[in-house]
A and B are shown apart, each in its own frame.
Chain A
Amino acid sequence: DTAVSQTPKYLVTQMGNDKSIKCEQNLGHDTMYWYKQDSKKFLKIMFSYNNKELIINETVPNRFSPKSPDKAHLNLHINSLELGDSAVYFCASRATATGVNEQFFGPGTRLTVL
């Protein structure tokens, strides 16, 4: 199946821990994103990578560090987790060079910090 996939689907952890979320797309897209959707359901962009290069870095605490080993993968590492980090994190990808600009989302990772 061509898609954007994320692991894990659920993540429950204690405050202060470090955790990672992985994302992969097999759509051949050149740009990948991390979005955060909070309890009020607002979808906010966090980071964007184009061909492994960071191109968007919104006002996000530096406890969040994205890493893109290749253009099909974009991982998110979070250090020293806080209660306010609880949210659903979505990975997405888009082919920016085609002009079509349609963006597709992964299934999401629900992070709960206790």
Chain B
Amino acid sequence: SQTIHQWPATLVQPVGSPLSLECTVEGTSNPNLYWYRQAAGRGLQLLFYSVGIGQISSEVPQNLSASRPQDRQFILSSKKLLLSDSGFYLCAWSGGTSGYEQYFGPGTRLTVT
């Protein structure tokens, strides 16, 4: 069966510090991978998605970046965090050629102070 891992679960970082969140998927090959951010009580905002190694599509201009160095690894990064980067970050994967059924990781709750 497929599983998706995210770490860390919670993170408190000062403004201006760097960020690296990692997501890995097990039990499937060539997944479509996604990074979302969710503000408290709000919907999910798609940040990046990837359909293959080294292929990254950015949805929202911001100080975040994503990379996919391996087939089942997706990394979200920032060089300098802003207060507005606080939120719940979720990684997800889908299979095949459609993204309608996505499976989410447990998420990382980021607080920028």
| A-B complex is real | no
**B interface vs A, CB < 8 Å?**
none
